[in-house]
């Protein structure tokens, strides 16, 4: 197990150019299959999940090359329609290849995703919506065998605005026969990014960013040139780290609207902001303060991915705050580890009560998922003394060389593998 060695107590500040979004890039990589052509993607995040997704494309028979942050993907040829169980379990977003492969080849085989560290994460909404559009699904030996001689447009009502199911349906419907309307669709910026990409490839889609998305199936898509938008969770992670350590931070390349809920919380703890074209500057107070009650939820609600990081921040804010986690049932595993560093957090079911402590101290802690691991890392940066944060392999899934980025901003972090 890899780990980070951190010597805390140094302000994290300066200028940081936010990288391309993991949660936008992965669905777009799956969508390249529908283009059956060459696609050029700029501003790609150089993270483990991105590399793994490029490998999936290669395993399916496509060409994928990465030079710097530019990926050139040629999906004219494919030779397989199967996504292995280990791949799906390693990286949940690979279920999006189901919609993409069905949209392209009318058949797909997908390993069973199973549960994961943050919750059960079923895919019933994906599968039941697919069936409504004419996809036949058989489960055998832990694999889903899916096929559809005709994929037909349909009015689908999602019982929950699932991000993954909305993305999978966009992929399936882009080349379906007739019109599909997704009601109660997810509205996250990553959905908007996927639609922008599909539209650049010739898809006819309307209403992204609203609860009703209409897709008029087209016969063929084509290649495109597209730049991956900024990662709002990476932006939020660095803001929290600076706020906790008392550093002034300027973020470059961000869209204020997409991180409004995070900025709102930071503002309530006493941070001040100025914003000029794609440059956000944050000045934290001497002492963070907060009396807040946060509830995670689908966009435009408070993002579940930011929950562990904000919890970390609130451990140092004078006052008592509550966080309710409504999206995933097991996403508080970082709380116990934060307590080892001196945090005062009490969990009751899906609600966390956080009482601000005057300071955290270094400790040996274990990250067990991506954002939870990052939350421990920023707590360690703010803590007095040395910490060891295990589980770097989770953090590397979604953050690009986070140890270098924090070190350049004044922190003392080393990755040990």
Q: Is 130 in the site for ligand UD1 (CB under 6 A)?
A: no
* Catalytic sites, residue numbers: 116
DSSP letter (8 states) at residue 299: T
**Residue 386: CB minimum distance to ligand UD1, A:** 30
Stretch that binds ligand UD1, among 160-168, 169-177, 241-249, 378-386 (CB under 6 A): 160-168
Six-digit token pair at 332?
A: 């508080």
* Residue showing tokens 């055998």: 140
Q: Is 400 in the site for ligand UD1 (CB under 6 A)?
A: no
Q: Is 162 in the site for ligand UD1 (CB under 6 A)?
A: yes
What is the bridge-based pairing of β-strands 14-17 and 249-252?
A: parallel
Which of these, 242, 156, 229, 143, lies nearest to 189 by C-alpha position? 229
Dihedral (Cα; 207, 211, 214, 215), 10-degree rounding: 90
Site for ligand UD1 in 56-115 (CB under 6 A): 92
Q: Is 188 in the site for ligand UD1 (CB under 6 A)?
A: yes
Burial of 361 (0-12, 13-18, 19+ CB in 10 A): middle
**Residue 283: CB minimum distance to ligand UD1, A:** 28
Q: Are 21 and 228 in contact (CB under 8 A)?
A: yes
Please give the sequence-ordered ranges of beta strands (E in DSSP) within 320-411, or none if there are none: 320-324, 344-348, 351-355, 364-366, 386-390
Stretch that binds ligand UD1, among 25-33, 144-152, 162-170, 198-206 (CB under 6 A): 162-170
Nearer to ligand UD1, 135 or 317 (CB): 135
Q: Which residue is nearest to ligand UD1 (CB)?
A: 164
Q: Is 163 in the site for ligand UD1 (CB under 6 A)?
A: yes
Stretch that binds ligand UD1, among 10-18, 158-166, 284-292, 382-390 (CB under 6 A): 158-166
**Cα dihedral 2, 20, 193, 150 sign:** negative
What is the total count of residues that contact ligand UD1 (CB under 6 A)? 22
**Binder among 6, 9, 20, 23 for ligand UD1 (CB under 6 A):** 23
Q: By the criterion CB under 6 A, which residues form the site for ligand UD1? A: 23, 92, 119-126, 160, 162-165, 188, 298, 303-305, 327-328
């Amino acid at each position: 197990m890899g780990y980070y060695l951190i010597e805390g107590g140094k302000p994290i500040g300066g200028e940081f150019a936010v990288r391309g979004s993991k949660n936008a890039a992965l669905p777009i990589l799956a969508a390249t299959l529908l283009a059956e052509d060459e696609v050029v993607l700029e501003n790609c995040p150089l993270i483990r999940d991105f590399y793994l997704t490029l490998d999936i494309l290669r395993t399916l028979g496509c060409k994928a090359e990465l030079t710097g942050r530019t990926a050139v993907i040629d999906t004219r040829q494919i030779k397989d329609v199967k996504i292995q169980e280990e791949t799906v379990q390693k990286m949940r977003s690979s279920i999006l290849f189901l919609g993409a492969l069905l949209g392209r080849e009318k058949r797909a085989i997908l390993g069973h995703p199973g549960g994961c560290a943050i919750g059960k994460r079923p895919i019933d909404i994906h599968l039941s919506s697919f069936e409504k559009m004419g996809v036949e699904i058989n489960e055998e030996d832990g694999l889903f065998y899916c096929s559809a001689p005709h994929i037909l447009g349909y009015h689908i009502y999602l019982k929950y605005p699932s991000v993954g199911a909305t993305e999978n349906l966009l992929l399936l419907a882009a080349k379906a026969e007739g019109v599909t309307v997704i009601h109660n669709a997810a509205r996250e910026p990553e959905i908007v990014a996927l639609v922008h990409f599909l539209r650049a490839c010739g898809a006819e889609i309307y209403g992204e960013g609203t609860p009703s998305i209409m897709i008029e199936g087209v016969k063929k898509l084509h290649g495109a040139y597209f730049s991956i938008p900024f990662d709002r969770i990476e932006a939020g992670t660095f803001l929290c780290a600076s706020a906790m350590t008392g550093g002034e931070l300027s973020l470059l390349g961000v869209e204020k609207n997409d991180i409004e809920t995070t900025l709102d919380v930071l503002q309530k703890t006493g941070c001040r902001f100025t914003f000029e074209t794609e440059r956000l500057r944050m000045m934290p107070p001497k002492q963070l303060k907060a009396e807040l009650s946060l509830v995670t939820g689908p966009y435009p609600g408070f993002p579940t991915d930011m929950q562990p990081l904000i919890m970390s921040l609130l451990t140092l804010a004078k006052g008592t705050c509550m966080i309710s986690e409504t999206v995933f049932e097991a996403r508080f595993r970082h709380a116990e580890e934060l307590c080892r560093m001196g945090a005062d957090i009490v969990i009751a079911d899906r609600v966390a009560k956080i009482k601000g402590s005057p300071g955290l101290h270094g400790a040996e802690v274990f990250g067990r998922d991506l954002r939870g691991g990052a939350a421990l890392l920023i707590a360690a940066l703010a803590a007095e003394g040395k910490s060891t944060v295990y589980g770097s392999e989770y953090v590397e899934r979604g953050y690009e060389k986070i140890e270098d980025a924090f070190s350049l901003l004044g922190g003392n972090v080393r990755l040990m593998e």
